[in-house]
Every structure is written in C-alpha cells, then in structure tokens.
C-alpha cells in the first residue's frame, strides 16, 4: 500500500516555531504510511536559499517552490492544484493566513481534504488584524482545524469557529535532544566574548509582538538598581535596528548581546541562568519548552498558550505583558534568591517530558490524517 501524500504549505523562509514543528513531524512520522512534502511560496526572483529550506532538504523532505509574480498573485492557486495533481497529494496542510486562503480556494476548485494548524495570530497593524479576521472565517471551510493551544481554540470558538472540526494539539519537542552535558564555553564561542553572570536569555524572532523592547527596558531598570546582568537576545528579525538603537540610548551595549539566529540553542542553554519570554502574544512557545527541558528557570508573560506550560510559582513565573517594571522586579527576585526558581525549572522539565513530547504529538497527528483519508 502506497503512503499517504501530504503537502505542507508555508509562506516564510524562516524556521521559527511552525517550521520547526513541520520539520520535526517529518522526522518522527511513520514514513511507510505517510510521505510529507513541503510547498514554499516564493515571489518572482526570490531566492530559494534559506535556513528553513536547507534544513528540510538536509532531512530529505521533498521541497517544491510555488512562485507568483508577487505576494498576491492569484495564479499560485492553480499552481498548488497542479502540484496536488502531479504529486497525487491526499491532504493539504496549511500553516498561516496566506496558505489557509490558498488551500481553501484550491480545495474549492479541486477536491482534496484540507487541514490547518493555527500557530497564533499577530495583529501588529490594521492590515494584520484584517487578515486575522479573514483567517478566522476561511478556516470554517476546512475539514480539520488544529489549534496549538486552548487559548487559540477559545478565540476561534468565540468568533464563531467550527467546534466540530476543531481540536487542540500542543506544540511539542524532541525531548531526547535536550540533555545537559556539562560542557562550558559554547556561549563565549558564539558571542565572541565572555559575559558576566547572571546570564539572561530570550529566544525568538525580533519582531514587535515578542516584546524584546520591554525586556531591554527591564534590564535598564535592573542596571539602575545597581545590579549587573548580561542579556543575550537569540534571534533575528525586523525589530533588530530599533532594539540596537534602544540599547545604545540606554547605555547597555556592554550588557546586551545579539548573536542573531541560532539553529540549535541547546548547548547555549547550559550556560543560561534565566530564560525570559516577554511576548505580547503567543501561540505556544517552543522557547519555553526548550528552556525547561534544559532545566533553565523561566520568566514569561501571561499571554496565549504560555500559561498552559507555565503554572505561576510551580513551573516558572508569569507576569503581565508590556510591563518592564514587572519583568525587572522578577529578575531581581531571581538574582536575590535563585534556588526556588531552579526547583520550578526541574518540575517544569517533568511537565514538558510528559505532556509535550513530539512522538506523542505526531501519533495524534497521524490519527487526524487517517480520519481525513477515511472520510475522503
């Protein structure tokens, strides 16, 4: 019996949380039963060279470019249909607003089961908020809708979403890859210089909704209270120039490092004392899962699906978003008494190992695919 062919659609070159989930699913899925393909949208002349595509190819995941004249070229709908026919695709799996809309329209013109994973919405501007509203309507026409957190599930139901087609499938992680080795010096090697303790880190795309500006302000407050710390912002993105300007304005150049995107941060996490996630919005953050598996204490904002991983005072600490003062107060609490935070991180590791395991998640996803094929 030939395997079920599934086409994952993605509209970004970055790996990020959703991309990591796709790639790890490809690693973990039963390849005798399921064959995953990756369709990446590109505009005319846009390079197909990116970390995401390179990693997919390294993992032997078939990659297909779906080119349009620009971001809004309607001809890509036909190209997706052509790909579905050529590859004999059994299920199309979308992952963000653009691929949701294109998958929905393609399925209206050529019958194929469609499923989407809602990783979270970013409403930084009027255009993005309009796209969120469109997405919430479009997904009603999908055969199956997967939310990565109960918060996203609740948001969708509140907007009239399809309760009978909706399920929660938390983000997950390959737990076997996250074990302490005792190796030191990786942080100095990556940064090109040594940093003083305590070392605080934040992992995520440098984008306004991630709240890095709040964290930089918090470090400024901590510094003004006479406490020296080092902050490492791991990631890259459009907010980088503004963050650099803020760091210079606050005179924090010696305290804050920005090494850019790091594909596998596990070894760096061994030398991190505290992970901070200052986001304004989240789906379900992989950075929190990674930190807890490495027994790094976590301070995060109470947004999105983060409280589904972090129970305040039990597996980490939660504060309100957009509050540099709250972040600074919690950082000072960690510095003055780190032991309770370390105990919380140990409890958090157990929670992630038992509840956010990629192998378990992939089995649940296989069941969803099987159900869709059965209905088809």
CA–CA gap between residue 266 and residue 262 (Å, rounded): 10
pLDDT at 342 over 80: yes
Residue-wise burial string across 182-220, b where 16 or more C-beta atoms lie within 10 A, e elsewhere? eeeebbeebeeeebeebbbbbbbbbbbbbbbbbbbbbbb
Q: pLDDT averaged over the chain?
A: 95
Closest listed residue to residue 97, CA positions, set 78, 75, 123: 123
Closest listed residue to residue 283, CA positions, set 54, 142, 121: 121
Tracing tokens 């809004």 back to the chain, one arrives at 72
pLDDT-based confidence at residue 257 (cuts at 50, 70, 90): very high
pLDDT score recorded for residue 15:
84
- The angle formed by the CA atoms of residues 232, 254 and 279, to the nearest 5 degrees, is 35
CA–CA gap between residue 170 and residue 136 (Å, rounded): 19
Greatest alpha-carbon span in the chain: 68
Closest listed residue to residue 204, CA positions, set 249, 166, 235: 235
Mean pLDDT of all residues in 276-303: 97
90-100 pLDDT tens trace:
999 999 999 99
Mean pLDDT of all residues in 315-324: 98
pLDDT at 162 over 70: yes
User: How many beta carbons lie within 10 A of that of residue 43, not counting itself?
Assistant: 13
pLDDT at 376 over 80: no
Mean pLDDT of all residues in 326-335: 98
Residue 79 region by backbone torsions, left for phi larger than 0, else alpha for psi between -120 and 50, else beta: alpha
């Amino acid at each position: 019996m030939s395997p079920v062919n599934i086409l994952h659609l993605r509209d970004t070159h970055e790996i990020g949380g959703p991309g990591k989930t796709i790639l790890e699913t490809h690693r973990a899925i039963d390849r005798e039963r399921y064959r995953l393909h990756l369709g990446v949208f590109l505009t005319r002349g846009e390079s197909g060279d990116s970390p995401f595509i390179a990693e997919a190819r390294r993992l032997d995941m078939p990659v297909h470019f779906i080119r349009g004249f620009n971001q809004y070229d309607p001809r890509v709908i036909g190209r997706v249909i052509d790909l579905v026919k050529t590859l004999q695709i059994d299920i199309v799996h979308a992952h963000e607003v653009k691929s949701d809309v294109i998958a929905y329209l393609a399925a209206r013109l050529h019958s194929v089961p469609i499923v989407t994973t809602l990783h979270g919405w970013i409403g930084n501007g009027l255009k993005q908020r309009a796209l969120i509203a469109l997405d919430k309507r479009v997904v009603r026409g999908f055969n199956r809708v997967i939310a990565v957190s109960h918060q996203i599930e609740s948001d969708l139901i509140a907007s009239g979403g399809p309760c009978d087609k909706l399920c929660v499938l938390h983000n997950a992680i390959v737990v076997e890859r996250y074990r302490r080795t005792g190796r030191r010096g990786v942080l100095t090697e990556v940064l090109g210089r040594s940093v003083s303790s305590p070392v605080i880190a934040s992992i995520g795309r440098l984008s306004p909704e991630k709240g890095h500006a709040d964290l930089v302000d918090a470090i400024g407050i901590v510094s003004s209270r006479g406490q020296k710390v080092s902050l490492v912002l791991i990631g890259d993105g459009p907010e980088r120039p503004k963050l650099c300007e803020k760091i210079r304005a606050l005179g924090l150049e010696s305290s804050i490092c920005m090494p850019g995107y790091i594909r596998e941060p596990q070894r760096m996490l061994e030398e991190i004392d505290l992970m901070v996630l200052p986001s304004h919005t989240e789906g379900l953050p992989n950075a929190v899962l990674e930190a807890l598996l490495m027994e790094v204490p976590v301070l995060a904002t109470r947004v999105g699906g983060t409280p589904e991983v972090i129970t305040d005072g039990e597996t980490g600490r939660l504060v309100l978003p957009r509050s540099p003062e709250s972040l600074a107060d919690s950082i000072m609490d960690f510095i003055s008494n780190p032991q309770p935070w370390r105990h919380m991180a140990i409890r958090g590791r157990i929670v992630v190992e038992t509840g956010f395991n990629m192998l378990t998640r992939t089995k649940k996803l296989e069941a969803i695919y099987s159900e869709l094929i059965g209905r088809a």
